[in-house]
Every structure is written in structure tokens, then in C-alpha cells.
Copies of this chain bind each other. A is one copy, B any other.
Amino acid sequence: MALDREETSERVLAIAEALINEGGMDNLKARTIAEQAGISVGSIYNLFADLDGVHRAVNMRLLDRLGAAGAAAMADLARRDVTDVRQRLLALAGAYIGFVEAHPGSWPALLAFNRRRPVLSEPDAYEARLDQLFEIIAAVLAEGDFDIDEDTRRTAARTLWSSVHGIVTSGYAARSLRRQADEIERQVELLVAVFIRGLERGGTFAHAETTAP
């Protein structure tokens, strides 16, 4: 009858994610987890170093699922023989937007997590999982036949990813959810369209002086 150590961990993580998603990261309390999981507070500390460790583990699961959603969106388009770069980028952005909407509490909490303390150089398997998503974008850009070198393409992929991220997070900082959803869609469409046009136009993107001396 006794649950496996790993089963208990997953149970704790599911409860933790639900708590965070419902009431924000302030809603993640050791005693609430213990009560809902049917274990004692002390047991949580046998499974995780501290509550931050629990939150970190929740975030890892979220990042994995986000990566899976992006990959699934690409697989879906591939199945339908859609190779158009614009449509693929919009589908990726759509997957991201859908994921954020599906996790209205736990995703903002993930973003807030690393910003609570000043960066103390975490080992961060975080970045690795974000890179997984970035690689998808880079691959999409690589298949479009832009006349740009490898370096520029990778920078472009990162820029696109960061920009979509900025649009989505800035958008949901504001109030009315439905009205802002339209605004986010407009901005993403404009970003993708402008990006493709700008890259298609070719030419160099070499560093230049930012302001006159």
C-alpha cells in the first residue's frame, strides 16, 4: 500500500503545481502540501531540499511540457506537409501562447522564481530546457532559405524567441484577458511578418556604431 518514493514525489509536485496555479507562488505552503498529500511536513524535506526545490521541480515539469507542446505543434504541421516558415513560426508562438493560457498561475510563478533573489549563478538545468525550445525555432529558420550566415541565423532565432516571450508576458501583465489576447496575436503576427521580410531582404547585419561619437 505504501507509495513509492517517486510516486510520492510526483504526487507532491502535482499538488504543488495546482497550489501555485491557483493562488500564485505565495500559495505554496509546506503544511498545505503535507495535508493534501497525506504526509507530514517533515517528509517533504526528505524528498526535496526545501520549498524552493519543490518549486524548481514544478518549473522543470512545466518547461518539459512546453517543449513537448512546441515539438508537437511542429510535428502536426509536418504531418500536414506545411513547410511555410511563417506558418510554422506562428504555430510555435501559438503553442507558447496556448501553454501560458493553460497555466495562468504557475507560468508567471516560474518567471518570478528566478527573479526573487539576485542571480547567484545557479547550476541551472533551466537554460538547457529553454535551449531545447530555442533549437526548434533555429531549425525552422534554417529550413527557410534566407541569405544569412549561421551566426546571424542563431541570433535571429534567439531574438525571435525572446521577442515572443516579451510580447506574451507583457501582454498578460495587463488586465482584460480576452482583449489582450487579440493584442498579443496582432503583435506576434506583426513580429513574424516583419522578421521574415527583414531577413528575406538580405544584406549584412554587421555591428555598427549605436550612436554618433
The interface of chain A, by Cβ under 8 A from chain B, is 22-26, 77, 80, 82, 87, 90-91, 94, 104-105, 108-109, 111-112, 114-119, 121, 124, 126-127, 152, 155-156, 158-159, 161-167, 169-175, 183, 186-187, 189-191, 193-199, 201, 203, 205, 207-208, 210-212
Find the B residue at minimum CB distance from A20: B118
> B162 to A187, Cβ gap below 8 A?
yes
> B187 to A155, Cβ gap below 8 A?
yes
> A116 to B170, Cβ gap below 8 A?
no
User: In this complex, which of A111, A169, A190, A203 has the most chain B Cβ atoms within 10 angstroms of its Cβ?
Assistant: A190
- List 6 tightest A-B contacts by C-beta distance, closest first: A166-B166, A194-B198, A163-B163, A108-B115, A198-B198, A24-B117
Q: Please, how many angstroms separate the alpha-carbon atoms of A210 and B199 in the complex?
A: 20
Identify A162's interface contact among B22, B167, B205, CB under 8 A: B167
> B190 to A156, Cβ gap below 8 A?
yes
> B167 to A116, Cβ gap below 8 A?
no
**How many copies of this chain are found per oligomer?**
2
> B191 to A159, Cβ gap below 8 A?
yes
**In the complex, what's the smallest C-beta–C-beta distance from A94 to chain B, in angstroms?**
6
> B212 to A80, Cβ gap below 8 A?
yes
> B189 to A207, Cβ gap below 8 A?
yes
Identify A159's interface contact among B169, B190, B198, B212, CB under 8 A: B190
Since A80-B212, A155-B183, A197-B198 are in contact, a sample of 8 more A-B pairs with Cβ atoms closer than 8 Å, ordered by chain A residue number, is A109-B115, A127-B173, A127-B174, A155-B190, A159-B191, A163-B163, A189-B207, A194-B198
> A211 to B162, Cβ gap below 8 A?
no
**In the complex, what's the smallest C-beta–C-beta distance from A177 to chain B, in angstroms?**
8
Identify A23's interface contact among B105, B117, B127, CB under 8 A: B117
6 contacts across the A-B interface (CB closer than 8 A): A24-B115, A87-B211, A87-B212, A104-B118, A152-B190, A155-B190
> B121 to A175, Cβ gap below 8 A?
yes
> B116 to A111, Cβ gap below 8 A?
no
> A169 to B166, Cβ gap below 8 A?
yes
